[in-house]
Amino acid sequence: MFNIILFGPPGSGKGTQSEKLIAAYGLKHLSTGDLLRSEIAAQTPLGLEAKSIMDKGQLVPDEVVVGMISSALDQNPQAKGFLFDGFPRTEAQSIALDKLLKLKNTEIGVVLALDVSEEEL
């Protein structure tokens, strides 16, 4: 399994590059925003927990987001790998993702940071 984390500021081309990487390597795209919306729409236990937190105007805790990522990994056993978009954003999230991936017997293969000047953005 080949996993990629893609970083970059808004407008840097993450969406464009994600599409190309997904097509080239047969990866499954994991966007935390998409995962949250999907889990909430499906009214899963994690989705309901996230919704109640979001309805209070609070940020969804890392452990809930990591739980959603774990679920997405489990639901896609045929995937050749995953492209992580929007996660991790902090050191704590990076540590949590590493622990999760270790439990799943996989790891991050590549971290890509798109560096774009303020002018171009």
pLDDT at res. 60? 92
pLDDT at res. 84? 95
What does the pLDDT look like over 65-93, one tens digit per residue? Answer: 999 999 999 999 999 999 998 789 889 99
What CATH architecture applies to the domain 20-114?
3-Layer(aba) Sandwich (3.40)
pLDDT confidence bin for 121, thresholds 50/70/90: confident
Q: Are 91 and 37 in contact (CB under 8 A)?
A: no
Question: Is 1's pLDDT higher than 90?
Answer: no
Tokens of 27: 């990866």
pLDDT at res. 65? 92
Whether pTM > 0.75 for this model: the answer is yes
pLDDT at res. 101? 96
Q: Per-domain residue ranges for the chain?
A: 20-114
Residues 6+ apart with CB under 8 A from 119: none
- Mean pLDDT, range 10-24, rounded to an integer: 91
Residues 6+ apart with CB under 8 A from 33: 86
pLDDT confidence bin for 10, thresholds 50/70/90: confident
